[in-house]
Structure 1
């Protein structure tokens, strides 16, 4: 158990703080929801009712979709684009998907390579792109959940103001939907861009996301040019 905790420490750390943050969000959101209901003279909702509500779903899914879009685009961009000196990038000249030999794919697979890496054809293609496929799928599902929950919340607010209900198609092209969506996207893109650029000149001793402290600025984490 100790060995597992050590070997999976990074994943376990982020899993724990994710759960704590999600629980904290639900508790704070529940309190805020009932405060707003009280201000409008409406009865409070129960905790179970709140965490299964469309408003809570929208707040959670809205952040999830922007995070997974960020990593989907970053993984895709780093195949073809480079940034000299950044440990987040391949070195200039290494753009592209690389050869089967460089990727240990098919007949070039190692003795302990994953089984699907030994395959060619569809299975080999799927496994070769599995990270991008999963990230993209989670993004799309989160975006869909956000939009479906959002149209319910929007129609609840419309009903309170005596306005007609919107369809899903109307909601997903509305300024309100894209205002909320793009607020999250722009912050994620800024954070990734800063990480790529800052890591050229700044260091963090002991972090795998940083070059060695004394490495030249032009040198990436995977080259010694």
Structure 2
């Protein structure tokens, strides 16, 4: 294996994705265990039969808890990806340099005639493929957000109606659930936390450092250095 290639092999070369992916599965499993326990406690209070772990995994209660978090995370990245094209924060490594706001030139982005031999093929085109590829990351995040938000609304409506039936109330249609306080409370409580986290990261990274992290400036960089990563 030559220098410059994956010296550490597959695991080292993909350790960030693999570690966070594994942690995601562990936490998701732990959430399912805790969620089932809480759900069964509610059933016990209401004098109803408790459900097994497999049944809980297929329940709307578990689905809505999962999807409401997914949609807020994808919304965060969608807004961050598109917002940082034009929005700047002096001194933050999360921001571009102050003189580079906007979509930047084709030379800077290695597009069209400025694409290199090792550039993605669609970067060198001059038609819809380049336009689509040059926005593909943000667009995919937007699609993931919309799909997970849709899934949240469907599973949330099912969970909401199950609760209403247990309380001897008539279920409501999906379109009515979209206007309900339950749907918007689930959505907005996650959105505000994600927006706060992004704002905090942008500001705190101006003055604080984490040695070796690309999310931080170099330890000795000035507070005013913008768009510089460690």
Q: Same fold (TM over 0.5)?
A: yes
Q: d(CA) in 1 for partners of 2:120 and 2:55? A: 44
Moved over 4 A (4+): none
Give yes or no for contact 2:98–2:226 (8 Å, CA) kept in 1.
Answer: no
Match of 1:133 in 2: 139
Match of 2:72 in 1: 66
Shift of 1:113: 0.7
Question: Unaligned 5+ residue runs, structure 1?
Answer: none
2:94 aligned with 1:94: no
2:188 aligned with 1:182: yes
Q: Secondary structure of the residue that 1:102 maps to in structure 2?
A: helix
Query: Which range moved further: 67-76 or 110-119?
Result: 110-119
Q: d(CA) in 1 for partners of 2:49 and 2:166? A: 15
Normalised to the residue count of structure 2, the TM-score between the two structures is 0.93
Deviation per CA, 1:91-132, whole angstroms, max 9, x where unpaired? Answer: 112111111111111221111111121222111111101100
Deviation per CA, 1:24-79, whole angstroms, max 9, x where unpaired? Answer: 11111122222222222211212111101111110000000000001100111100
Aligned with residue 197 of structure 1, among 178, 199, 203: 203
Shift of 1:193: 0.3
Match of 1:54 in 2: 60
Deviation per CA, 1:137-179, whole angstroms, max 9, x where unpaired? Answer: 0000000000001111111122222322211111111112111
Match of 1:106 in 2: 112
Question: Unaligned 5+ residue runs, structure 2?
Answer: 1-5
Normalised to the residue count of structure 1, the TM-score between the two structures is 0.95
Match of 2:24 in 1: 18
2:148 aligned with 1:142: yes
Question: CA RMSD for the aligned pairs?
Answer: 1.4
